[in-house]
Chains A and B, each alone.
Chain A
């Protein structure tokens, strides 16, 4: 009898994210940066042409990166490679899938391509990660097939405040959910436009049904450790590493801080002498909040 091997199942899609838990995923724009990230101990890299802080500065429509550059990064490292598509841009996702990247990020950092629909992620072989500011948004993305969630935070700012807000919001809403009666759960599911079964599953687990990383504004080892203490499963660092004065040292330090997030002595040691952090921005000075993209 021939044995059956199943591929691209929800278990495998969520499973890869589970293997990344406790780790740091770093934005890189070329093979050289990808190698620095891997050498520092990153669990995966996000391949993109411009890091969020440059997208902010330069403006214009931000799109999926050049496949050539993504392929070069895939060749350079052994860790998983992720790449971004615009919200709703299912053809960019088809292209990335054909190239065999390991994870697709349907990202608010790029300019949205569809003002009504996100990509129907359940139709794809590859797993997707999506941003969320609150529980309802996270559940809508999971219901569309996302196998991993990250807080949106506010990318390209070097300011952790929004990531903190979003992580706390999701945690608080899950705490509320746990106290809800069946009638309130039904009402909640309806209001948030998500299946009741998914809401019940989150109530039972006391957490999201997929891995939840923190992203958007993490710039220091202390930022990463704070997000870990707030209960996220791992860390995305975008502009924070390669826009700082000493990317190698900072990358290594953020990896170490994510591991020893609850040990202030080690955190003090790995925060030492890292040079300047990335150029940062205050929320009320922003022309545009990327977190508001997506629905």
Chain B
């Protein structure tokens, strides 16, 4: 099974390495050609304004939306989660992110503050599968200038919280995490996304 990692900028290498460790063949995605034959796509951490703008400039934006409509799974980490959200807030008077709008969530950018407010912790993550129920396990979570998921709409299921904050949401084959599993040694969220791509 091939899973793509959007290679515009950010934690691309980190995701590729994690997929390899899971025994999944990673594909670096820079052009719409690269999306062919992918079961899933990871949108990595990085700067959401940069990634959003470059998706538009090089024609990937509409192509991703189209393929998502045809069943391609997508997982966004941090900036990637912002790009999946239908509504992005916290940027009044500033340059707005051009998000793909695939998930029924509202997300607030840089909601914890600046770099000095970045943190590492552990969270309880619910590995939920249509055909296998839900298994909850503690995993390490790295939050870097992270956004907050401020509301979750219909069809979207909360998989993890940190205190009161929603930090992971699943909607069909779309997964949003406001933290960075690719920055840890824990493969479980990558394996989980592999299972989503495989239709489990």
A residues adjacent to B (C-beta < 8 A): 3-9, 11-12, 15-16, 18-23, 35, 38-39, 41-44, 74, 76-80, 97, 100-103, 125-127, 234, 255-256, 258-260
Contact = CB atoms under 8 A, between A and B. Distances in A.
Given A11-B120, A12-B118, A16-B118, A23 B110 contact: no
Contact of B115 (A21, A41, A80): A80
Nearest to A42: B50
A21 B54 contact: no
Nearest to A23: B9
Contact of B121 (A3, A35, A44, A77): A3
B54 A259 contact: yes
Contacts of B57: 256
Interface in B22-65: 30, 45-47, 49-50, 53-54, 57-58
Contact of B122 (A3, A39, A41, A260): A3
Interface of B: 7-14, 30, 45-47, 49-50, 53-54, 57-58, 78-79, 90-91, 94-95, 109-110, 113-122, 142, 144-145, 163, 180, 183
A76 B94 contact: yes
B183 A38 contact: no
A260 B29 CA distance: 12
Contacts, number: 132
Contact of A102 (B8, B114, B119, B120): B114
A234 B12 CA distance: 13
Contact of A12 (B11, B122, B142): B142
A12 B94 contact: no
Nearest to B110: A78
A102 B47 contact: no
Contacts of B50: 23, 41-43, 79, 255
Contact of B9 (A9, A21, A80, A97): A21
A143 B53 CA distance: 37
A35 B95 contact: yes
Given A16-B144, A38-B95, 13 more contacts: A3-B121, A3-B122, A5-B119, A12-B120, A15-B142, A19-B47, A19-B78, A39-B95, A77-B95, A78-B49, A100-B116, A234-B9, A258-B9
